[in-house]
Amino acid sequence: METTLSLKGVALQTVSLKLVKPGLLNGVRTRFYTWSEGAPPREPGALPYIAETISPRIDFTWFDKPHEKVPSKRFIAEFKGFIKIDYPGTYRFYVVSSDGAILSVDGRVLVDAWFDQPPRLHSSPEIVLGRGYRRIRLLYYNRDGIGEVTLGWIRPDGVAESIPSDRYYFSIGEHAFITGLPDGYVVRLLPLRDEALEKQCVSVMNICMVSIPWEEQPLEAYLSIYRGSGEVFARFTEPVTLFGGDEYSVYYAKH
């Protein structure tokens, strides 16, 4: 992915911003947890994860261990990432699981089936999705026996399928980087979402690092750059989309 924005600045310079190292990669981040007794926790974040991997898609049947470091019984898998939507419209998600599963899309829980069960299909209500990247999180647990979990959708054209691997993405971190600026320059990000707060960072050793937690990704924002004196250096009229791990570099040339 490459985004180039330009603006004539106050010093008669053309300033451009280019994505040089994307933080978004194919696959979905997968963490495994285990619990000892009773019901599995609905939020495993308080537990230390025992293994992490990148899954190409969410479509598994485990007859034994899901990972060499993970037992075959009493394990939880947490899948976190993004699904790319190319065709906007009305979707319906479904999860096939044995045992429990909880699916959320953009923070909204669409499937809640957190209980022991044989392989069973659970469908979500209809949801209208626009073009772009939608944040997903699927929690799954297996108490014992064969483990099975699949995430699928019914597309706007009516086709039902396990979500293909080329739709899954994950970000490599929770910070984005703006490089190529003199020290002391300030980058300000004004998010398009009304509820999101303005972000800013100060360039140190020619690197400006802005925090973008996973829950705020992708961050669509208008970006402005200010000199250390507070004077505007560049203000871009098109929004930029940021994922954790992205590195954007600033280029400028005098006329």
Task: Give the start-to-end residue ranges of the domains of the chain.
Answer: 4-23+173-254, 25-171
Q: In angstroms, rounded to a whole number, what is the distance separating the alpha carbons of residues 124 and 145?
A: 26
- Antiparallel, parallel or unpaired: β 51-55 and 147-154: unpaired
Residue 254 banded pLDDT, cuts 50, 70, 90 = low
**Is the pLDDT assigned to residue 193 strictly greater than 90?**
no
| Average pLDDT rounded to a whole number, residues 15-40 | 95
Structure tokens at 104: 């959320």
| Structure confidence at residue 7 (pLDDT) | 44
Widest pairwise Cα distance in the chain: 70
Mapped onto helix, strand or coil, the DSSP state of residue 165 is: helix
Q: In angstroms, rounded to a whole number, what is the distance separating the alpha carbons of residues 232 and 206?
A: 18
CATH 2.60.120.1560 for domain 25-171: yes
**Is the pLDDT assigned to residue 129 strictly greater than 80?**
yes
- Nearest in space to 244 (alpha carbons), one of 168, 177, 192, 181: 177
Mapped onto helix, strand or coil, the DSSP state of residue 164 is: coil
Name 248's Cβ contacts closer than 8 Å, sequence gap at least 6.
Answer: 3, 17, 18, 19, 20, 176, 177, 178, 179, 240, 242
| Structure confidence at residue 86 (pLDDT) | 96
Q: In angstroms, rounded to a whole number, what is the distance separating the alpha carbons of residues 237 and 148?
A: 48
**Is the pLDDT assigned to residue 196 strictly greater than 80?**
no
| Structure confidence at residue 212 (pLDDT) | 96
What is the pTM assigned to this prediction? Answer: 0.90
Give the pLDDT confidence of 205-218 residue by residue, as tens digits: 999 999 999 999 99
Domain 4-23+173-254 has what CATH class? Answer: mainly beta
Mapped onto helix, strand or coil, the DSSP state of residue 103 is: strand
- Nearest in space to 244 (alpha carbons), one of 201, 207, 215, 202: 215
* Domain 4-23+173-254 shares a fold with domain 25-171: no
| Average pLDDT rounded to a whole number, residues 108-132 | 97
